[in-house]
Structure 1
Amino acid sequence: MEKGILLTGGGGFIGSHLAEGLLKKYPDERLIILDDLSTGKIENIPKSPNVNFIKGSITDRNLIEDIFRSFKITKVFHLAAVASVQKSVEEPEYTHKVNFDGTLYLLEESKKYNVDKFIFASSAAVYGDLEDLPKREDMPVKPLTPYAVDKYSSERYVLNYYHLYGLKTVALRFFNVFGERQDPSSPYSGVLSIFIDKIKRFQNGENTKIIIFGDGKQTRDFIYVKDVIKALILVSELEETNGEVYNLGLGKETSLLEILEILEEYVPELPPVEFAPARKGDIKHSRADISKIKSIGFEPDYSLEEGLKRLLRYEKVILKEKEKV
């Protein structure tokens, strides 16, 4: 039976970057990508003879069983999810089926077939609006939405499968990931991709503006997608990560106003900025304590500015003369 790595959500923003990273890291391994393309895109999936793409949902128990019967799965990278917090509020039952039940199906098959490692993409949303900063993995959590509750309960199941059954598992709590292929029209899109999309439209002559909800002083911990991929592969290879959860950010707070200042350094002119009332439930400040993941050898390769510059070039934004080199 052919060995393979299973990647769920491989057509999505982070998943497609992980697919590229896995193909590069493990050139002799088959990569099985499962995605229902509800938010992922077929064009995001790398074109490689080593890729088996399966269009389907993690909620399809029979399909999951069939994949594990057809391949000797060595690792599972579980990124598939309903990633929209708003959709989880509007459709909690559907979201739960995907974000929790789907995780459980994958864990059960991974246990049954003795998978070498199960890596789960959790979220900083589990911390909710608790004010203590920076966020440490041993702090209390306060998930405020169905999305956050499902991420936290999935995360606990993932870690408990190590402690109860010996399945080697690890979870990463993603903070604000940004980078190429993040869809600015998606309901869960990062603020950076929305800002850059507005700049592109403005440069193309559209009458558009950047809208900031609140005073713009709200902060986030932004991490470039290539560093996320580096961390995912790292934790998948180390025994010491078994049964552990790690924060994944840069460990720095940046306000939306500071983001605009950085963009002003690179772009000749920004669209007009309009302030709107703060959105209900928006968290004011967020910053990860990343000392735990650093203790196993992780160091981010990209600063926020370096990641932003790469993203601006990828999006073909017109830059100031001095930034064109």
Structure 2
Amino acid sequence: MDGPVLVTGAAGFAGGHLVSLLRADGPVVGWYRPGVPPPPASLALGPDVSWVAVDLTDAAAVDAAIADLKPSAVHHLAGAANQGAAWAHSDVTLELNVRVTHVLLRAVARHVPTARVLVTTSAAIYAASDAPLREDDPIAPATPYAVSKLAQEMVALDAARDGGLDVIVARPFNHIGTGQDLGFFAPAFARQVARIEAGLEPGPMRVGNLTPRRDLCDVRDTVRAYRLLVQGGARGQVYNVCRGEAIAISALLDMLRAQAAVPIDVEVDPARLRPVDLPVLVGDHGRLTATTGWTPQIPLADTITALLEEQRALIPRP
């Protein structure tokens, strides 16, 4: 097929980085949510990138858009990504992660059944384990968000198994980097550090649970894995996307504080604690590496520096 590559959720965190990467391969169409401003100028990446507002909860609109576009490949990144918000809005999370995926895949099956589709789910679906998790390890989602991502994955794999679609599932672990929403811990930490060192907040930093250990990958490495999986992944297969080692959230915070221009104290805020927080979440990317040759390339220290520099540039200066 000669159609463009479609990225849903293209104006989001990972979506923006993915569009930037894919544009070197040929025409890319990015879908974003209607009713919000078009993607910023920083994402207007040249004549090979087109932006279209599509309401993914509107089945008729999705069907018409797929029929018109006829993409050669689809990176489905759109959905509800904030795990904390899912506790209060589980119905919205299920809608955006499960039903939207079903609607999209149904449209693909109707109009471009040979298109390759990458569906991104989440490592949050795994059962708790201290060891690096492999794709065949036990599944036991413990949060509303994780339940929605498991259901999304089941929809995707069913489309590959029984619907005859060329679908691949990526299970990303935590990924961080520039452009991430402040509802996530890494940019939220960086914003607080930047504001305190600029004299805009008195301190101390107010944080949630710092004890969990997480597998943190730079978002640029994560989207590079997505690109490689669309190029060479196996239909109906699931792939972890991760660094392969865990770091305590407290250690990540210490890395940010070490770069601050002033000493910064930390205080745990009970309001920021989640009802459930897995103590360890770390993955094994052996299947991904064996299939595509992918390995993480960007050091975590470089990602942390970029995050802090971004937040320093975004805050007003006295």
Matches of 1:139 and 1:132 in 2, distance apart?
A: 12
Q: Please tell me whether residue 36 in structure 1 is matched to residue 33 in structure 2.
A: yes
Q: State the match for 2:267 in structure 1.
A: 274
Equivalence for 1:322: none
Shift of 1:35: 1.6
**Whole-angstrom distance in 1 between the partners of 2:191 and 2:283:** 27
Partner AA of 1:178 in structure 2 = I
3-state SS of 1:226 partner:
helix
Contact 1:35 1:54 in 2 (8 A): yes
In 1: Cα distance, 2:307 partner to 2:82 partner: 22
Correspondence for 2:67 among 57, 66, 69: 69
Distance 1:100 1:71, change over 3 A: same
Distance 1:92 1:310 in 2: 33
Q: How much identity, in percent, do the aligned residues show?
A: 26
* Residue identity in the other structure for 1:308: I
Deviation string 1:96-138 (CA, Å, 9 cap, x unpaired) is 222111101111122222243100111111125x234222211
Match of 2:280, SS state, is coil
Give how far 1:265 is off.
3.9
Partner residue in 1 for 2:316: none
Answer yes or no: is the 8 Å Cα contact 2:130–2:281 preserved in 1: no
Contact 1:12 1:39 in 2 (8 A): no
Partner residue in 1 for 2:117: 118
Which residue identity does 1:287 align to in structure 2?
V
* Number of the residue aligned with 1:4: 4
Q: Label 1:92 to 1:311 Cα distance change in 2 as closer, same or farther (>3 A).
A: closer
Q: Give 1:41 shift.
A: 6.8
Is 1:261 the counterpart of 2:254? The answer is yes
Distance 1:142 1:235 in 2: 25
- Structure 1 position 222 matched with structure 2 position 212: no
Q: Is 1:245 matched up with 2:251? A: no
| Aligned-pair CA distance for 1:291 | 1.5
8 A Cα contact 1:6 1:77, kept in partner: yes
Contact 1:13–1:40 (CA under 8 A) maintained in structure 2: no
In the alignment, the residues of structure 2 paired with residue 284 and residue 305 of structure 1 have an alpha-carbon distance, to the nearest angstrom, of 22
Question: What does 1:144-223 correspond to in 2, within 5 Å?
Answer: 144-184=142-182, 186=183, 189=184, 191-206=185-200, 207-214=202-209, 216-223=210-217
> 3-state DSSP class of the match of 1:83?
coil
**What is the match of residue 22 of structure 1?**
22
* Aligned-pair CA distance for 1:38: 7.8
CA–CA distance in structure 1, aligned partners of residues 205 and 122 of structure 2: 26
What is the root-mean-square deviation in Å for CA atoms of aligned residues? 2.2
Task: Give the secondary structure class of the aligned counterpart of 1:308.
Answer: helix
Secondary structure of 1:77 counterpart: strand
In structure 2, the residue corresponding to 1:274 is in which secondary structure?
A: strand
Change (3 A) 1:82 1:100: same
1:100 maps to a residue whose letter is V
Distance in 1 between residues matched to 2:2 and 2:228, nearest whole Å: 24
What is the deviation of 1:6? 1.4
- 5 Å matches for 1:45-124? 45-112=43-110, 113-124=112-123
Separation of aligned partners in 2, 1:274 and 1:170: 42
Instruction: Check the 8 A contact 1:178/1:225 in 2, yes or no.
Output: yes
Q: Is the Cα contact below 8 Å between 2:222 and 2:241 reproduced in 1?
A: yes
Per-residue CA deviations over 1:75-102 (Å, capped at 9, x if unaligned) read: 1110111222233332333322221111
The equivalent residue for 2:308 is: 312
Q: Please, what TM-score do these two structures have when normalized by structure 1?
A: 0.87
Corresponding residue SS for 2:120: strand
Q: What letter matches 2:31 in structure 1? A: L
